[in-house]
Amino acid sequence: MQHCRLISQASAQRRRLRVIPRTQITAGISMPVLRTLSKVARQALLSTPGCGCQPLTVAVRNISFSPRQVTSDASFHSVSFSETDHPKVLITGGLGQLGVGLAKLLRKRYGKNNVILSDIRKPPSNVFHSGPFIYSDILDYKNLREIVVNNRITWLVHYSALLSAVGEANVSLARSVNITGLHNILDIAAEHGLRLFVPSTIGAFGPTSPRNPTPDLCVQRPRTIYGVSKVHAELMGEYYHHRYGLDFRCLRYPGIISADSMPGGGTTDYAVQIFHDAIKTGKFECNLKPDTRLPMMYIDDCLRATLEVMEAPADSLSMRTYNINAMSFTPDELAQELRKQMPELQVTYDVDPVRQTIADSWPMNFDDSNARRDWGWKHDYDLPELVQTMLNYFGAETRMAHIN
């Protein structure tokens, strides 16, 4: 009878444990204590034969203490755009070529305080005062997680990465930022049901890929750490989508041309640098061969495509990684278009073998028919419009400088 009372007490203890909230279990009763209770009850059964009692099973929930662990039966979902008035957006790597522009576009659409820029660098005054900005290191998992929780983030745009030429100069840093940082982003996005956007690139393809045009699905064997890390990002994001239901979305960007940001170390950055040098000196030295054809896009098209794919209904997406394209040209063709308005422009060529090798392994043209079919992608800027827009920007900037 004494043994039966022990069993009854253990059963009562188990029932009490079942109604205690999980947070109280983890805070007030450690796993060793629960295991001890189970062990004591089990030993009591085995040590007292013939009592006629039914075998006792103490149900103990296995609680994980690892913030990164994704359980095998997890099922995540993100809050769709239609279910909320506005998403709450975090942009990592926000001081790069695209982050500031995307924040401006999203703030105009969703409200200034609903879009948070983040980076590890100190922002310029105009960026700091244009809307919320916080320090965020994607290699610091705890800090990143706190930002998502404290600010109730629902969308995460992950721009932090080392680009192609810079990555080849520091492979270990590129591996850390582009791959380890991505793993932190994926785990946090899955844990908190975020809608996650990670950009990919023409650099995700290699010399064995079809080059003209390059379809969405084909051989991908890049030969740069940047390209390898982007293929890794595509596959990991799609795996998390199929395995855990993560709302992962990805666009393979062509070379992006922007007037209000300096080149950031990419192989296609000549197409930005040529405008800066043409306005300042009337001369430009290109580090690629004159006939190197690569897909390009003006930044306004790029940012709009990012917004459109993020807002697209999930059931309209037949895939999770899309090519997008606008135009495709060579350095010589760009120079010829510029000379229509700047006849005195002098262009010379001093080929960088590292960048040229990278460019020769990339697509010459993107097939983006799936994006145009699934969510209505359509570019606005071709080469003549691109050149005119860039010159107008720098012309206005020059006039303002003279006035000041």
Give me the DSSP letters along 242-287.
HHH--EEEEEEE-EEE-SSS---S-GGGHHHHHHHHHHHTSEEEES
Give the residues across from 201 on adjacent strands.
253
| Cα atoms found within 13 Å of the Cα of residue 35, Cβ hemisphere only | 5
Amino acid, res. 41: A
Point out the catalytic residue in the list 110, 141, 159, 226. Answer: 226
The whole-angstrom distance between residue 330's C-alpha and the CA centroid of its chain comes to 29
Taking the C-alpha atoms of residue 287 and residue 289, their distance in angstroms, rounded to an integer, is: 7
Give me the DSSP letters along 56-101.
P----------TT---TT----PPPGGGSSS--EEEETTTSTTHHH
φ/ψ (deg, to 5) at 323: -75, 145
φ/ψ (deg, to 5) at 21: -60, 150
DSSP 208: T
Is position 226 annotated as part of the catalytic site?
Answer: yes
CB 227 within 8 A of CB 179: no
* Residue 298 region by backbone torsions, left for phi larger than 0, else alpha for psi between -120 and 50, else beta: beta
Percent helix, strand, coil in the chain (nearest 5)? 50, 15, 40
Query: Annotated catalytic sites, by residue?
Result: 226
